């Protein structure tokens, strides 16, 4: 496990049912987090009142950053004194009057990662079967249904994934 993923692994464990999360290895959780991560640049907006000319506080459009991302204004890399990896809020060392900054790094969609992990857990549990003994009934299939319902809820909350398609049959690229 990469050391920069430790806080994300801990957060993903908290999103899963306790009895199942404890049986998962850090490597399994890291692989799911890597599958739900993106490397890119997102906008950051100032956190200030309208009459303030400049501010040190900004917030990125996404949260759950893997490691220390870089902040720039389009031309220069800026010094950051504090960066909250979970929320994407950060403080610059010196005030900036910029209306938008950009944050570059690796970030994770925790809802998509939780949905994927729950679907994997449901797949493992699907081999169990319901049975009855004497006057008792054991319905293990309920756990699979519960995991899939939880996965569906997290999947609905996840960020949409987009891709840029190049249509060379329509547009000639120079």
Residue 103 lies in a domain: yes
- pLDDT (0 to 100) of residue 173: 57
Give CA separation, 170 vs 165, 166, 167, 173, 174, in Å. Answer: 11, 9, 6, 10, 13
Q: What is the extent of the structural domain holding 64? A: 37-108
Residue 45 lies in a domain: yes
- pLDDT (0 to 100) of residue 126: 75
With contact defined as beta carbons under 8 Å apart, do 171 and 164 qualify?
A: no
Residue 77 lies in a domain: yes
Residue 148 lies in a domain: no
Nearest to 109 by CA among 50, 51, 160, 46: 160
Look at the chain and report how many structural domains it folds into: 1
Residue 105, strand partner residues: 40
Residues of the chain with pLDDT under 50: none
- pTM to 2 decimal places: 0.78
**Averaged pLDDT of the chain:** 85
How far, in Å, CA of 131 to CA of 45, rounded?
56
Residue 133 lies in a domain: no
Which tens digits make up the pLDDT trace of 101-119?
899 999 999 999 999 999 9
Residue 82 lies in a domain: yes
Residue 67 lies in a domain: yes
Residue 56 lies in a domain: yes
């Amino acid at each position: 496990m990469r050391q920069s993923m430790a806080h994300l692994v801990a957060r993903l464990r908290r999103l899963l049912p306790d009895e199942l999360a404890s049986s998962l290895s850090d490597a399994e959780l890291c692989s799911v987090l890597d599958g739900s991560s993106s490397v890119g640049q997102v906008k950051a907006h100032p956190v200030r009142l309208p009459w303030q000319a400049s501010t040190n506080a900004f917030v990125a459009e996404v949260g759950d950053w893997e490691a220390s991302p870089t902040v720039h204004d389009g031309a220069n890399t800026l010094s950051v004194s504090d960066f909250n990896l979970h929320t994407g809020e950060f403080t610059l060392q010196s005030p900036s009057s910029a209306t938008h900054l950009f944050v570059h790094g690796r970030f994770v969609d925790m809802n998509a990662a939780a949905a994927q992990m729950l679907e994997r857990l449901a797949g493992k549990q699907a081999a169990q079967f319901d049975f009855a003994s004497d006057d008792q009934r054991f319905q293990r299939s309920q756990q699979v249904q519960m995991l899939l319902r939880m996965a569906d809820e997290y999947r609905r909350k996840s960020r949409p994934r987009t891709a840029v398609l190049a249509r060379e049959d329509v547009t000639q690229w120079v």
